[in-house]
Amino acid sequence: MHRGKGMKFVGDSRVPGMEHRKPNIPKDYSEYPGKTEAFWPNFLLKEWMIGAVFLIGYLLLTVAHPSPLEGQADPTDTAYIPLPDWYFLFLYQLLKYEFASGPFNVVGAIIIPGLAFGALALAPFLDRGPERRPSKRPLPTGFMLLAIASIIFLTWESVANHDWEAAEAQGQITEEVEIDTSDPGYEIYAGAACISCHGDNLEGAVGPTLVGTGLSPEEIAEIAVNGIEEGGVQSMPPSWDGTEEDLQVMAEFISGLEAE
């Protein structure tokens, strides 16, 4: 910047007076090669359209798939099978292989991801040649394709081996309902085999929760007597060995339990 004798400033600031300013006019793009254009406003308007299309897709995804929320964290639940968000699945899957788990955990958890990320960060210093076309630098291209293939394969394996139904069931938000334990229906329930699978508060354990089943007393009595058989698999054994009157009272009690 021009400084020195004859320079005029704005008041006592260091900003030069108007006669020494850069004029506020766009550059001449005709001197640039090809169809080079200005960022503002020419290109930004086009970029904006791409952004708008992207945003529409993004919003449709948001509306079509509400974000999931599982039940409140309970550190005492030791049976829970953990699962990271999908973009960490490949790392998680890597830790399941024998050479990368147990005594070799450090291999899968630190060494392999560390080497991969370190090599990525140092790529400009490992691949120093002037050639830019992927076909002219086979080693970097090959390693990157190998890494992408590994990520896709490991993610695929992880998804294929995960029990998604169990994952959905274990994360469900359980409704907490005040159970009237003095109800004669509850007393019959507690005295029968039902309580061992469906829990003290009918919240479910081995069997599902009995709160808010939406079933009529007749249907519940029928299930209690005959159990549930689906596709040849006995998912609930026939369980009732009491009297008809007690069964009637208990079935009406369970049928009347509504989720809040």
Partner 1 sequence: MLNKLYDWVDERLDITPIWRDIADHEVPEHVNPAHHFSAFVYCFGGLTFFITVIQILSGMFLTMYYVPDIENAWQSVYYLQNEVAFGEIVRGMHHWGASLVVVMIFLHTLRVFFTGSYKKPRELNWVVGVMLFGVILGLSFTGYLLPWDMKALFATKVGIEIAASVPLIGGMIKVLLAGDSTILGAQTLTRFFAIHVFFLPAALLGLLAAHFIMIRRQGISGPL
Binding residues for partner 1 restricted to 23-42, rule: CB under 8 A: 23-24, 26-27, 29, 32-42
According to the binding rule CB under 8 A, does residue 61 interact with partner 1? yes
- Selected binder of partner 1 within 15, 115, 190, 205 (CB under 8 A): 15
- Distances in Å between the Cα of 157 and the Cα atoms of 80, 143, 162, 163, 167 are 20, 21, 9, 12, 16
Shortest separation between residue 169's beta carbon and partner 1, angstroms: 11
Q: Which one-letter DSSP state was computed for residue 229?
A: E
Query: Under DSSP, is residue 258 helix (H, G, I), strand (E, B) or coil?
Result: coil
The answer for residues whose C-beta is within 8 angstroms of residue 135's C-beta and 6 or more apart is 141
Which of the ranges 73-81, 156-164, 188-196, 218-226 carries the binding residues for partner 1, by CB under 8 A? 73-81
- When binding is defined by CB under 8 A, the residue of 56, 148, 159, 169 that contacts partner 1 is 148
Interaction residues for partner 1, span 228-257 (CB under 8 A):
none
Nearest-5° Cα angle at 225, 232 to 234: 20
Q: Binding to partner 1 by residue 8, rule CB under 8 A?
A: no
Whether residue 192 contacts residue 240, with contact meaning beta carbons closer than 8 Å, is answered with: yes
**DSSP single-letter state for residue 208:** P
Spatial distance between the Cα atoms of 16 and 8, rounded to a whole number of angstroms: 6
Exactly one of 2, 3, 5, 21 binds partner 1 (CB under 8 A); that residue is 21
CA distances from 242 to 20, 69, 141, 201, 248 (A): 102, 41, 73, 21, 10
Inter-residue contact 224 to 239 (CB < 8 Å)? yes
Ramachandran bin of 214, using left for φ above 0, alpha for ψ from -120 to 50, beta for the remaining angles: left
Choosing from 131, 176, 180, 219, the residue that interacts with partner 1 (CB under 8 A) is 131
Shortest Å, Cβ 83 to partner 1: 6
Which residue, 87 or 231, is less far from partner 1 as judged by CB? 87
Please tell me the count of residues contacting partner 1 according to CB under 8 A.
86
Applying the rule CB under 8 A, the residues between 94 and 123 that interact with partner 1 are 95, 105-106, 109-110, 117, 120-123
Q: For partner 1, which is the closer residue by CB, 23 or 231? A: 23
Q: Does 164 bind partner 1 (CB under 8 A)?
A: no
Q: Tell whether residue 4 is a contact of partner 1 (CB under 8 A).
A: no
Considering only 4, 65, 102, 160, the residue that binds partner 1 (CB under 8 A) is 65
Supply the DSSP symbol for 33: S
The reply to whether 70 sits near partner 1 by the rule CB under 8 A is: yes
Which residue, 115 or 190, has its beta carbon nearer to partner 1?
A: 115
Among 7, 51, 191, 241, binds partner 1 (CB under 8 A): 51
Q: Please give the Cα distance from 185 to 248 (Å, whole number).
A: 9
